[in-house]
Amino acid sequence: MIVRDRTAIRRIDYSRPMRTAMKDGLVAASTEVFDYGCGHGDDVERLSQAGIRAFGWDPAHRPDGPRRDADIVNLGYVVNVVESPEERAQTIRAAWNYARDVLIVSARLKSEAETSAFDEFEDGCVTRIGTFQKFYEQHELRDWIQETLGESPVAAAPGVFYVFRHADRREQFVASRYRRRLAAPRIRLSYRLFEQHRELLQALMAFVTERGRLPEAEEVEVGSELANAFGSIKRAFQVVRRVTGREQWQAIYDERRTDLLVYLALGRFPRRPKFSSLPRSIQLDIKAFFKTYTAACAAGDDLLFAAGDMQKVDGACRQATFGKLMPTALYVHIGALNRLPPVLRVYEACARVLCGEVEGATIVKLRRMEPKVSYLSYPGFDAEAHPTLRFSIRVDLRILAVRCRDFTESTNPPILHRKESFVPEDYPQRDLFAALTVAEDSVGLFEEAADIGTLDNWNRRLAAKGLQVMGHTVVKRP
pLDDT digits over 188-246, tens only?
655 778 888 899 999 999 999 999 999 999 999 999 999 988 899 999 999 999 888 88
Strand segments (E) across 147-186: 154-157, 160-164
CA-wise closest residue to 397 among 357, 367, 360, 364: 367
What is the chain's mean pLDDT, rounded? 90
Q: Are 8 and 37 in contact (CB under 8 A)?
A: no
Write down the domain spans for the chain: 4-165, 192-244, 314-406, 425-476
3-state helix, strand, coil in the chain (%, to 5): 45, 20, 35
Q: Give me the architecture of the 4-165 domain, per CATH.
A: 3-Layer(aba) Sandwich (3.40)
pLDDT tens for each residue of 173-201:
998 888 777 777 876 655 778 888 899 99
Helices (H) then strands (E): counts for the chain: 16, 17
pLDDT of residue 7: 58
Average pLDDT over residues 429-457: 92
Residue 11 banded pLDDT, cuts 50, 70, 90 = low
- Round to whole Å and give the CA distance between 22 and 444: 47
Residue 126 banded pLDDT, cuts 50, 70, 90 = confident
